[in-house]
Amino acid sequence: MKWLAAAALMLAPVMASAQTGSCPELKNPELKWSQRQGANYTICYLELPSSLGSGSGFGVYLGNRTFKPNKKARAEKGTVGSQQVQWFKKQTVNNARPYSREALVNLPGDKPKSKVRIYTWIDAATAEQLDEAFGLARQVAVQ
């Protein structure tokens, strides 16, 4: 539980309710997360409204696992909530979703030795799905 308290302090601008282990609030009240809670992590996933059931959407991982995107796979700059991120191309099985992206969220004041990680990803098969998912990433409420 200590990591959740630390996360709450570090993630205040991005994660609205990190101290309770719940998913961040979204600016659009019609959008709803699918949430999975583990012993030391929370995974939140939001399917694309235009592609329900397709496995395309935007996800957030908050926990201890380390993720290292392939630095050679830089794609574009963007935002998650109000935090600037660098999106990287994400590998998918059989390249089924070639427009998928992943990013690590580095927050102001985040210490390099922190064990809490924020990993975000987009599952997208088309450029249109990617644009819609970028829009969802910007929907994360900021406090």
User: What confidence score (pLDDT) does residue 57 get?
Assistant: 93
d(CA 41, CA 35): 11
Residues 79-103 have a mean pLDDT of 90
Q: What is the largest CA-CA distance in the chain?
A: 40
Higher model confidence: residue 101 or residue 5?
Answer: 101
d(CA 26, CA 99): 23
In terms of DSSP H, where are the helices of the chain? 2-10, 127-137
Confidence category of residue 10, pLDDT binned at 50, 70, 90: very low
For 12: left if phi > 0, alpha if psi spans -120 to 50, otherwise beta; the answer is: alpha
User: What confidence score (pLDDT) does residue 15 get?
Assistant: 42
- Domain borders along the chain are 2-137
Q: What is the DSSP letter of 32?
A: -
